[in-house]
Structure formats: C-alpha cells, structure tokens
Amino acid sequence: MKRMLTVAAIAAATLVAGWSLPAAAQTKYAAEYRLSTVVGTAFPWGKAGERWADLVRQRTSGRINIKMYPGTSLVAGDQTREFSAIRQGVIDLAIGSTINWSPQIKQLNLFSLPFLMPDYAAIDALTQGPVGKDIFAILEKAGVVPLAWGENGFREVTNSKRPIRTPADMKGLKFRVVGSPLFLDTFTALGANPTQMSWADAQPALASGAVDGQENPLTIFTAAKLHTVGQKNVTLWGYVADPLIFVVNKDVWASWSKEDQASGAPGRDRGRQVLRRPRARGHDRRLAGGAQDDRGLRRERREAHARGARRFREGDAGGLREVGETDRPGPGEEGRGLGGRAQEVARCAA
C-alpha cells in the first residue's frame, strides 16, 4: 500500500512540477478530469488513484480537479476497453493494468508470460530497464502519456473445490480469467476450463458457483473478501505479475501550458522508475498464519515458481510434461539477464 501511494505521489509530482501556473494557462484547464481505475479505494490500486487526484488538486490550488471513476464505469465495466477510451478522450487519466491494455498494446503481453518473472527484482529489471523505456515509447505513440509504473502484485490462484498442488489438480476446474488470450491458453494448457469475465461480473459468478475459482493478487483477494464467496483454497504460485501504469491522455497533456510541460519533464522521467522500497507482504503473512518470516516466504515463492516453470512447458498437443532443471537464477542473481531476454520477447510480441 505504501509503495503504491508513493508511486501516486511521484505521478502527481510529474504531472505538476510547480505549485502555480500563469493566469493565462489556467483557462486551458477543464472543470473536471476523469480518472479511471478498475477497483475502488478499498484496494491499494484504487487508493493510489484517490491519493494521486488529491495531490494534484492540492498542488494546483484546485485548478486541476480530478474525479475518480472506479469499476471502469466510464466503459461500462469492460476493462479491456479502457485503453481505447483513453485514446478517444472518453477517459482523461488512468491507472491501468498491463493485462487489461494488452488487447490494444500487444507488447504488454510480455508481463503475462507465465513464470517469466520469479520475483520483484525481475519485474524491476523489465520496468526500469530498456524494456520499460521501449514500452513507454510505444504507449506514447499510441496516444497516451505514461508517467510512472505502479504495481499490482503477483497473481495467485484460488478456488472453492480443492487444494491445487500440481497441474493435475486444476483439471476440470472453471476459472474466471481476465480478457487476454494468454490467460486462456495458460489455464487451458493446465487442464482447467477458463472463461473470460470482467471483474464486475466475477464476484457474482464466484458466489453463484458459475465459476470455481479465479486468479488475482492477494490484495484483491483480501479486500474483496473472496473467502466469503467460497474461495477457501489459495495457491501461492506467483506465475504472473501485472504492473500498473499511470497515464494521461495525449491531448489533455498537450492542452496544459508549455511551462508546465517543460518544468514537469524531469519529474516525469523520475516518475517512470518504481521506487526501490521493500514490498509489503502483510497479506502473505496473514494467510500463512504469521508463522513464516519474509525470508521464508521469498524462498517458498522462488521454489514454487521453479516447480511451476519446470511443469509448465508445452508438450505434444499443447499439454504439459515434466522437464529437467529450470534456468532459474541462483542466489543474488534474480533478474540478471532478464532485461535483454525479455526485450527480444517484447519486440516479437506484436
């Protein structure tokens, strides 16, 4: 939570480098700017949006007034349409998931490749290196101005039927997945029956038993109280992590004063780097009953990730087969070499 709020503060500083603007520039501002998020303020993602809006309003003495629209309500709850709506001007600002925007920006599918990123160091190697710069350049060409990276956390799998310890345990289970073909392919390869569904429809489907399970970061699991809709089995496998991106519509950005843009450019570059602060693991600790320390949790995640990576290899007809030792980095080497390897993948993803 603290990390997300810090990134929101960076985005705010990026957006407004100074506390005041010339009077002539004030006439260029709209009465209200619409900020889209998938979830509300009960979640760290939504809380970051609220904090971002508050900081910008404060630092511009109310000239830039941002109103948050959670639940992707500006696009009738269809989060896969959010990026197109930003380009079209229906949405002015957004904190969006790389998953939700991948139908329009194919290179963002990089972050949905299963078991590519074993830990946060690997995520940083992508977002803070050449890959991150290339992706921001692609977003700018697509009509939005990216300001900063945020994070949504590693995505874990939950279900109402049984514990999942091997791919065989997923056979026949119905899972709600997000609107990306990679998620359909991944869960199908694991023997499950995935169905694409918006977040707005997911909770009723879980409650009614229309689907057996879902995958999301633990912050979503706990804030949405998914244990109350039958999600009693939680598997920590960390197969995917989807970074968040703070963006502004290109025309909205261009409508602001040249002075503001010029003074905000250095802050904007700084905002593109995720601060290196310890990640909060409180949700992991609560689920583990507080019995394991952070070092143990990190070790468990690496081991689970390695097991998953070994098992998740395509065999005949897209099935799974057991393979030998994975190329998991050794101690202290997390994230090394990932930047170059992933950059090539990102370029091929289009």
Q: Note the pLDDT tens digit of each residue in 71-118.
A: 999 999 888 999 999 999 999 999 999 999 999 999 999 999 999 999
Q: Which CATH class is domain 2-105+127-152+243-271?
A: alpha beta
SS3 342: helix
Order of strands across the sheet that contains 233-249: 66-69, 33-36, 93-97, 233-249, 144-159, 213-217, 174-177, 193-196
The pLDDT of residue 28 is 74
> Which homologous superfamily is 156-239+282-348 in?
Periplasmic binding protein-like II (3.40.190.10)
* Residue pointed to by tokens 């050794």: 330
- Indicate the domain borders of the chain: 2-105+127-152+243-271, 156-239+282-348
Which pTM value belongs to this model? 0.75
How does pLDDT run across 290-334, given as a tens digit for each residue? Answer: 333 445 545 655 565 555 555 544 433 233 332 222 333 333 334
Condensed to tens digits (0 to 9), the pLDDT of residues 253-296 reads 888 766 555 433 333 443 333 333 335 444 443 343 333 344 55
Identical fold, 2-105+127-152+243-271 and 156-239+282-348 = yes
Mean of pLDDT over the chain = 76
**29-85, pLDDT tens digit by residue?**
899 999 999 988 888 889 989 998 888 888 777 878 999 999 999 999 888 999 999
Predicted pLDDT at 57:
83
Tokens of 123: 């995520």
